Chains A and B, each alone.
Chain A
């Protein structure tokens, strides 16, 4: 201690060391996340087959979704959700529905029980499914809606495809799926991902097209349970993922049955609603949309003509539309969204073109016969 007593300035080393340790800790954690975990190699077809055979008996965890699609901010209806007075946090509540970060808690037990909770500040929205009961709870409005699922949906869903159409084994299905996307996409695998503290394989889909905005799609698959843990979509315009959804923590034990029971608390507005097969299948038929697809694979552009009555229904979005940049060309005039993963054009005469390409490709598709 006498060294420190005689040279008091040396004491500044201690706080500096503490800062260094904390900073190094932060860097170390992010290094671990990208460390080579050295899993034995596994082909794309094997991985896809693994995923199909994965046991879905139960899991719980936290999912974080981050989107940076480069589309304009839409002020959400949430308003001033955080109650901190005079703190300036009101600014952060103006997050858009699509952009920004959202945290979900997930519980799954078999096919029949699931619970999703969207956390936002001091509020929570839950969707709880237990057998044929489906509850939607919102802590902000203190409201709960109860849906009764039709028996056919509650029973194990059987796809309406004759068995002969189906691949015989998961491996067959995987190779068929890979063959289907082979002309447009190169598929590789990587054994070096770490998601939510678990080693994972990554299935990397890379468009062969040079014009699409999508640079890469990476799907991380847990090396033991073969459950997909993370999906990242990279844009050609940014180094960080433009869209990412993945577990930040995950537990593969079956959650407590209590998680799937919901009784509306006293003082809650409860709405009962039955879902009939008609309402699911679109009893009120949506206005017909004439559309065509221009281009192939990743470059394809959807061109559609909006029905006239839809324009009036879009009235609420008028303000958003007028905030978008105006463009014109031989194809007409309109407004454009130039996003990181996709772009969209809405013309003044009610046509819309959407694709994972640059706006110039959309204009070309609009002028195409």
Chain B
């Protein structure tokens, strides 16, 4: 606790409406960074590549990511195939970049202490940082889905969507399912963002935080693939990430979705609290 923060405490007692200024400025920062914009372009490029590859090639079926061979029947499947691929590494990498910038990046640039002398309480700062990470997660997943749906509809049209159960959904209901998929994937990436936020409070090097979170993600995937560790799988953050396929059954199969969401919530709460405990006792020197 710096002297400035101690002195600022009495002024916080005044009841007032929660200001969204800090959040808006934070989101503006994330959206304005050139590297984040480049990252979004990479995320958006993959569904375009997938869709054009399927359009150009004449191979009908077999291999490739899930949903890819359904693309020709309905353009929305481009989004689903792209999400299946990008949930593996690209989207976690994107949130790792944002999380690295969140606290470690500010500390590295020397702007963290100025933020805290505004005055902003550390808890509020962490709430705003995490809210902006959640926003970033939703944004990234939405970009993949929207670009995928747009290129898919442009190339393959909007036929009825065949669910995994063999029934067909009209375009409106199919879009609704895609929105659910986007929300579910965003929840997983946002939970990973909480882990990243904690790592970000441990270091002043944003690149170290980014690499650490990427290692955490890849390690989780590897552990999830080892059958001898099946007792551990339900506790891994990535275990149910690809369960969004269950939303495309008829009726949707909620068991795994709910399990995945509760794991996401558990990770988010525990790691946000860890970040909060860490940041509170930390001497902000830069």
Which of the listed residues A91, A105, A119, A263 has the most CB atoms from chain B within 10 Å of its own CB?
A119
* A89 close to B66 (CB less than 8 A): no
| A157 in contact (CB, < 8 A) | no
- Which of A91, A122, A126 meets B66, CB within 8 Å? A122
Stretch at the interface among A12-20, A306-314, A336-344, A353-361: A12-20
Taking CB atoms, residues of chain B closer than 8 Å to A91 are 225-227
Which A residue sits closest to B159, measured CB to CB? A266
Which A residue sits closest to B84, measured CB to CB? A83
* A11 close to B255 (CB less than 8 A): no
Taking CB atoms, residues of chain B closer than 8 Å to A248 are 255
* B249 close to A124 (CB less than 8 A): yes
Which B residue sits closest to A2, measured CB to CB? B9
Q: Which residues of B line the A interface, CB within 8 A?
A: 1, 9, 61, 63-70, 72-73, 81, 84-85, 87-89, 159-160, 162, 164-168, 218, 221-222, 224-227, 238, 242, 245-246, 248-249, 253, 255, 266, 269-271, 273-274, 276-277, 280-281
* B255 close to A124 (CB less than 8 A): no
* B73 close to A84 (CB less than 8 A): no
Stretch at the interface among A137-145, A175-183, A200-208: A137-145
Which B residue sits closest to A115, measured CB to CB? B165
* A84 close to B87 (CB less than 8 A): yes
Interface positions of A from 225 to 254, Cβ below 8 Å from B? 248-249
Taking CB atoms, residues of chain A closer than 8 Å to B273 are 14-15, 18
| A121 in contact (CB, < 8 A) | yes
Counting from the closest, the 4 A-B pairs by CB-CB distance are A83-B65, A8-B281, A122-B245, A122-B66
Q: Which residues of A line the B interface, CB within 8 A?
A: 4-5, 8-9, 11-12, 14-15, 18-19, 22, 62, 80-92, 95, 100, 105, 117, 119, 121-124, 126, 137, 139, 141-142, 144, 248-249, 262-268
* B165 close to A126 (CB less than 8 A): yes
Taking CB atoms, residues of chain B closer than 8 Å to A9 are 281
Taking CB atoms, residues of chain B closer than 8 Å to A117 are 165, 249
- Which of B89, B221, B246, B280 meets A119, CB within 8 Å? B246
Distance (whole angstroms) from the CB of B186 to the closest CB of chain A: 18
- Which of B9, B66, B88 meets A121, CB within 8 Å? B66
Which of the listed residues B87, B225, B269 has the most CB atoms from chain A within 10 Å of its own CB?
B225
Taking CB atoms, residues of chain A closer than 8 Å to B61 are 141-142
With A5-B9, A15-B277, A142-B162 given, can you name 20 additional A-B contacts, CB distance below 8 Å? Answer: A9-B281, A19-B270, A22-B270, A80-B63, A82-B66, A83-B64, A83-B85, A84-B87, A84-B242, A85-B89, A87-B218, A87-B222, A92-B224, A92-B225, A121-B66, A122-B248, A248-B255, A262-B167, A264-B166, A265-B167
Which of the listed residues B61, B166, B274, B280 has the most CB atoms from chain A within 10 Å of its own CB?
B166
Could you tell me the distance between the alpha carbons of A316 and B160 in the complex, rounded to whole angstroms?
Answer: 41
Distance (whole angstroms) from the CB of B270 to the closest CB of chain A: 5
Whether A84 contacts B280 in the complex (CB less than 8 A), given A126-B166, A139-B166, A265-B160, comes out as no
Could you tell me the distance between the alpha carbons of A124 and B162 in the complex, rounded to whole angstroms?
Answer: 12
Could you tell me the distance between the alpha carbons of A246 and B84 in the complex, rounded to whole angstroms?
Answer: 30
Which B residue sits closest to A15, measured CB to CB? B273
* A92 close to B277 (CB less than 8 A): no
Could you tell me the distance between the alpha carbons of A83 and B69 in the complex, rounded to whole angstroms?
Answer: 12
Taking CB atoms, residues of chain A closer than 8 Å to B162 are 142, 265-267
Whether A85 contacts B166 in the complex (CB less than 8 A), given A15-B274, A22-B266, A91-B225, comes out as no
* A266 close to B225 (CB less than 8 A): no
Could you tell me the distance between the alpha carbons of A248 and B113 in the complex, rounded to whole angstroms?
Answer: 52
